[in-house]
Chains A and B, each alone.
Chain A
Amino acid sequence: MIVSIAWRNVWRNKVRSLVVIAAIALGLWGGIFSYAFMQGMTGQQTYSSIHTETGHLQLNSPKFLLNYDLHVNVANADEVQKEIATMPGVLGVSSSIQLTSIASTAYASAGTMVTGVDTANFRTVSELDKYLVKGDFLGRGRSNQVLIGQQLAEKLHAGIHSRLVFTLQSYSGEITYSAFKVVGIYKLHNSEFNERMVFVRKSDLQKIIGFPAGSASAINVLLDNDEATAVTEAELKNKFPELQVQSWQELSPMLQLMSGTIDQMSFIFVFIILLALAFGIVNTMLMAVMDRTRELGVLLCIGMNRAKVFRMIVLETIFLSFTGAVVGLLLSIVTVSYFGTRGIDLSLIADGINALGFSSHVYPKLDFGFYPKFAAMVIIISLFSSFFPARRATRLNPAEAVRQE
């Protein structure tokens, strides 16, 4: 009976209840959608980083990353690569030679990181070919092909078929110059990457700088799921104790930090919205209690105890909040799934967003782990909001309350 009365009481003043429900629904939708938006942004950035830059794991000789010394390399890279390829959960393995250089055209020069890759293997760990905006990926044809990012192309005034001259340090320590022809231009969301990273065939680079055959600066590994990273990292460390094994989180600490921070900030943001809404709910329920002073007095007179009156007001508040929450949630599910498929085009502010390493086409997404947290938050806020009106109702003097107009 109490449940039924509480539910019907919610709909006594339809306009007032609908305004509160709409406020809760829109507030929640705003919070959830912005949370999904942020998650989509960081999720895409993480995916892009793993699938185009680092893979899930990278192996190299200890201290290589300090100054990219060619002599600090994985001497038996081919064997290591083969062994890793047989491990469960490994989707792809690719070894590369990495060295810093200066790329020049007739117009300008720029510092770059040249990565020599084995084309076929590289494609098992990287989706860089999907981000080509001009030309083709490194092919089998003529030697000295190079793939550059759009920002670098703009900086050097280079296009497809342009010649870039790279100043490189050979394995023996001498400075060499070598000309490469641009065969493709890629564009990732990360403008810094686009400006700095260039890709050539490993065999070409090996020949030019005299890098020992069968060796590599780094070996990158792509796994079939992100969650397996820690386990596989431990296995690799165990298998190859002489090598430094790092996960994508260690290689891109800022990415992990941002992902975690945005996650927490979005969650706090939703909580603040709910807290603000709680005051609206408290106000509405206090008005409802004051409007019904005489009726509540009658209930107390005829034998309804104060605990039941308290429970009734709490239930009314919970019903009101949950109705708003359900509407807000449905609205969120619909809009997140719609924009999660179609994406939100932010090309108007693409430069700023790309400079931060984010894509300008965002696909919002919501983890299922969010829902229990969300439910807990709504319950806490509802209970918090119901306390004051319910306490006020139970403090009524029944004899005085029934005399109220």
Chain B
Amino acid sequence: MPESDEAKRGRAIVVTSGKGGVGKTTTTANLGTALARRGARVALIDADVGLRNLDIVLGLESRVHHHLLDVLEERSSLDDALVPDKHTDGLFLLAAAQAREKDDVETAKMQALVLSLRERFDYVLIDSPAGIELGFKNAVAGASEAIVVCTPEVAAVRDVDRVVGLLGNRFRPQLIINRLRPQLVRKGKMLSVEDVNGILRLPLLGVIADEPEIIVTTNRGEPLALRAQSSTGAAYHAIAARVAGEDVAAPVPPESKASIFERIGSMFGGKRR
């Protein structure tokens, strides 16, 4: 294809992790919201066929009438299946099929779909299922870039390492560290950002703290990125700015070295785990 066509197309970014439960879907919803609030046109694809979740996180579950496989199997048009977000203009969701299986997706059709979405949107974010099997491969198939989500846990880091190896250089994977608890890091009870990325050595988009407000906003179906005044919401906006190529610092929750008093306190203050 000519260079100029490629340049005009939007960017297709797969959000993946290998391990489940690290926050891929929450990340996709928040990053998509933050990008759209910057004025970009954003399509979110839930590629976790059989376990549809992204609609819940966005609060759109009652508005989904057609899904990814309806489009891929030509039972529905793309326009009918794209659900406009209720909070953010320019943000659309293509939901996963709940009653189908990941293997029902044809890789070539998925690629074609993502390509056609790239003609219409500035960003296509693809929420990958956990694992490295066909579901992951289909989610990756149409993408041109990757964001990997990792929590500060041994198993999550190991899985991200594996996924990054599978992705290779083509997707230029960038890292979001999710669910960091600065207090635990200070007490030496959780891997730090440096510990995680000292091993993964990926470009760091940002670090999201493990905040109760994420649970509350997910309960309500309102991504935290809607609240730019919350520190975590602001962190998603900073990550979106970095994705968009702006030269802003990667957001990192304050976790500087523990004070001497905190260290002494934690020594006498009870059991170390």
Are A and B physically bound partners? Answer: no
Chain A residues at the B interface, C-beta cutoff of 8 Å: none
Chain B residues at the A interface, C-beta cutoff of 8 Å: none
